[in-house]
Amino acid sequence: MAPPLVALRDIYLTFGGTPLLTGAELSVAPGERVCLVGRNGSGKSTLLRIAAGLVEPDRGERFVQPSALVRYLPQEVDFSGYRTTLEYVEAGLAPSQDPYRARYLLEALGLSGNEDVNALSGGEARRAALARVLAPEPDVLLLDEPTNHLDLPAIEWLEAELKASKAALVLISHDRRFLENLSDVTVWLDRGISRRLERGFGAFEGWRDEILEQEEIERHKLDRKIAREESWLHGGVTARRKRNVRRVAELQRLRQERREARRVQGDVRFSVGQSGPSGRLVIEANGISKSYGDRVIIRDFSTRIARGDRVGIVGPNGAGKTTLLQILTGQLAPDTGAVRIGAAVEMVMLNQHRDELEPTMTVTEALTGGRGDKVIINGQPRHVASYMKDFLFQPEQARSPLSVLSGGERARLMLARALAKSSNLLVLDEPTNDLDLETLDLLQEILSDYEGTVLLVSHDRDFLDRVVTSVIAAEGDGRWVEYAGGYSDMLAQRSGADLPSVQRAASDVGKSKAAEKPAGDRAPAKKRKLSFNEKHALETLPKKIEQLQSEVAALQAKLSDPGFYARDPQGFEKATARLTEAEAELAAAEERWLELELLREELEAES
């Protein structure tokens, strides 16, 4: 086995209080692709900074091969002293290295090199930083969240570039697909120590669960042993304790071992506030368009989103994903076309910016809206300290200002705020930013089990594949196309590879038989037309739906009067029964109209 290019041995580091690293190790050999994984706050970034020589540990050994060129990509980039992106990238090259590579990488990443470093967006800053570390073609790349702020095309370009590179890699990322496609070794940093698996990230979770299960068995054995020793100690006479000092000391040692055992951090437990069901039709967009000056963002796009759909929106940065989301949810008016929000829709939004709350606000104030110490979940009050624990916040953080929270903690806090509110439509703009893998797993489960409708903007391919039922993708020049299934299904449909082989074969046979039959022998296909009843229903259903919506709203307002039941119990019961009937009639009318409208469009397309 080749000697390592970079190696860390027996690394200890404490930032006051609980030690962060207690004997952690990391090594990377030539050509090796290592993914470094662990919970938020486990010390991954700190260990990578120690490997880069930027942090000095309290104890331990760092070794770097004298001839090895090591480059480190931090999460936060410092552009001090540089004017343009080209100047910044070229500064990372040695005098003997080709400056053309700096220009090539900037162009490949969508930058010209003339951008003012003081006016860069988060995505542009990340692209410039990537160009700088890749340009000198180093022997070792230490990459801390390289996909942060990148859109899907840039992530896929970076993945291909790293696959083709001869450099050894150490990667920290919350992007599962990225780790699965690039890693062949996994290092798990957990409770201050590191464990190494000579396989890629795809094998990590099963291996981790086996280790945690074995730990739980050993902890149970230790607890039983302590119980036995305590029973002996307290069950005997004083003379026995004096005679067996060694056994008493052993009990003290076992107690100390149990006290010092650092248990794995608990899991986030999401509790989602859910209101009553919306109508069958949640959002309908007809021929919407939006432009800013000469730039077309959306061109003649239509869609229907029904109750229970989970729709992902994908595209490059700047394509207009957030604009489309705002138009579909009624926050922004289209230039042309119309958007209709269905009946009884209760929407909760989570935007991609974490700065909508005042930094001086405390965690408690953020969760309660500054009103007392209770959070209302599904109509039931919960103490804020209990709700905080579900999202891995400690009780002492209740009065902490938001300014001291990490990116991952702010992400969890924003999720906690959004999911506490009653809803039947969740609108999530980049919800996965800064979340660790375990929290992502639980968010995926919640969204999959959520009884309402989900609109989701994300660059996380694995997250999209696990959660969404359809994908709306930017195709360029303002065109948006909706595909059934997740992100991988979208790629397959774009390439024409989505049909199963049996279906493709049947389709090919059908085409060949049609080709064999002379044109004159074919009977003309009889075109299907809408019946009189179907046409009449299409014309009259919108008015009926509008009437039912008004009736439902009036009944809901009537029943919300707290004194109604006391004044008129029979009237209250009649109104309740009628509300149930009206909501059912409304859902049926919307569903029938939706079916007929789809049929009409199909027939028009065939004609």
Provide the β-strand partners of residue 291: 296
Q: How confident is the model at residue 333 (pLDDT cuts 50, 70, 90)?
A: very high
Q: CATH number of the domain that 592 lies in?
A: 1.10.287.380
Sheet holding 19-28, edge to edge: 19-28, 6-14, 59-64
Take residue 554 and report the two structure tokens written for it: 């009036």
**Which of 159, 141, 142 is CA-nearest to residue 150?**
159
Q: How confident is the model at residue 556 (pLDDT cuts 50, 70, 90)?
A: confident
In a domain, 49, yes or no: yes
Same domain, 76 and 126: yes
Take residue 311 and report the two structure tokens written for it: 């729709």
**Which of 279, 344, 377, 278 is CA-nearest to residue 557?**
344
Q: CATH number of the domain that 136 lies in?
A: 3.40.50.300
Return the higher-pLDDT residue of 549 and 526.
549
Cβ atoms within 10 Å of 470's Cβ, excluding its own: 17
pLDDT tens, 341-387?
A: 998 899 988 876 555 678 888 888 888 887 788 887 777 788 888 88
Residue 595: strand, helix, or coil: helix
Please tell me the total number of residues recorded for the chain in this structure.
Answer: 607
pLDDT tens, 194-225?
A: 999 999 999 998 898 888 888 777 776 766 76
The rounded mean pLDDT for the chain is 82
Distance CA 300, CA 336 (A): 8
Same domain, 227 and 315: no
Return the higher-pLDDT residue of 530 and 575.
575
Q: How confident is the model at residue 131 (pLDDT cuts 50, 70, 90)?
A: very high
Same domain, 241 and 323: no
**Which of 500, 482, 344 is CA-nearest to residue 424?**
344
Same domain, 344 and 489: yes
Measured over the CA atoms of residue 50, residue 54, residue 55 and residue 57, the dihedral's sign is positive
Q: How confident is the model at residue 272 (pLDDT cuts 50, 70, 90)?
A: low
Return the higher-pLDDT residue of 233 and 576.
576
Q: How far is CA 275 from CA 302, 422, 452, 553, 568, in A?
A: 27, 5, 9, 15, 26
pLDDT tens, 221-236?
A: 766 766 665 665 555 5
In a domain, 520, yes or no: no
Q: Which segment of 20-34, 110-124, 384-398, 493-507 scores lowest on mean pLDDT? A: 493-507
Q: How confident is the model at residue 245 (pLDDT cuts 50, 70, 90)?
A: low
Mean pLDDT to the nearest integer, 151-157: 92
In a domain, 273, yes or no: no
% of the chain residues with pLDDT over 70 = 83
% of the chain residues with pLDDT over 90 = 40
In a domain, 509, yes or no: no
Helix-helix angle 122-134:100-108, to 10 degrees? 140
Same domain, 195 and 224: no
pLDDT tens, 36-45?
A: 998 877 889 9
In a domain, 88, yes or no: yes
Q: How confident is the model at residue 525 (pLDDT cuts 50, 70, 90)?
A: very low
Mean pLDDT to the nearest integer, 67-73: 95
Q: Given this model, what pLDDT does residue 243 score?
A: 45
Place of tokens 């692709």: 33
Q: How confident is the model at residue 1 (pLDDT cuts 50, 70, 90)?
A: low
In a domain, 510, yes or no: no
Mean pLDDT to the nearest integer, 266-270: 55
Q: Given this model, what pLDDT does residue 256 score?
A: 64
pLDDT tens, 438-462?
A: 778 878 877 877 888 999 999 999 9
Q: How far is CA 406 from CA 115, 136, 146, 546, in A?
A: 29, 32, 18, 48
Query: What single-letter DSSP state applies at residue 428?
Result: E
Q: How confident is the model at residue 27 (pLDDT cuts 50, 70, 90)?
A: very high
Q: Given this model, what pLDDT does residue 59 score?
A: 94
> Which range scores top for mean pLDDT: 85-89, 97-101, 246-250, 416-420?
85-89
Mean pLDDT to the nearest integer, 306-313: 93
Same domain, 195 and 235: no
pLDDT tens, 482-513?
A: 999 999 999 988 876 443 433 333 333 333 33
In a domain, 518, yes or no: no
* Segment (H or E) for 551: helix 532-559
Distance CA 139, CA 107 (A): 23
Maximum CA extent, the chain: 113
* Segment (H or E) for 185: strand 185-190
Q: Given this model, what pLDDT does residue 336 score?
A: 95
Q: Given this model, what pLDDT does residue 29 score?
A: 95
Same domain, 112 and 26: yes
Same domain, 168 and 70: yes
Q: Residue 198 corresponds to which amino acid?
A: E
Rg (CA), the chain: 30
Same domain, 291 and 337: yes
In degrees, rounded to 5, the angle at the alpha carbon of residue 262 between the alpha carbons of residues 260 and 263 is 135
Cite the DSSP H helix spans in 32-144: 44-51, 85-90, 100-108, 122-134
Same domain, 451 and 368: yes
Residue 455: strand, helix, or coil: strand
Q: Is 255 left (phi over 0), alpha (psi -120 to 50) or beta?
A: alpha
**Which of 95, 79, 81 is CA-nearest to residue 129?**
79
Residue 550 has pLDDT above 60, yes or no: yes
Provide the β-strand partners of residue 310: 454
Residue 290 has pLDDT above 90, yes or no: yes
Domain end among 177, 206, 235: 206
Residue 202 is part of which domain span?
6-206
Domain end among 206, 222, 245: 206
Domain end among 184, 206, 228: 206
Q: Say how many CA atoms lie within 13 Å of 309 toward its Cβ.
A: 23
In a domain, 437, yes or no: yes
Q: Given this model, what pLDDT does residue 481 score?
A: 94
Same domain, 213 and 197: no
Same domain, 472 and 352: yes
**Which of 48, 60, 216, 224 is CA-nearest to residue 133?**
48
Domain total in the chain: 4
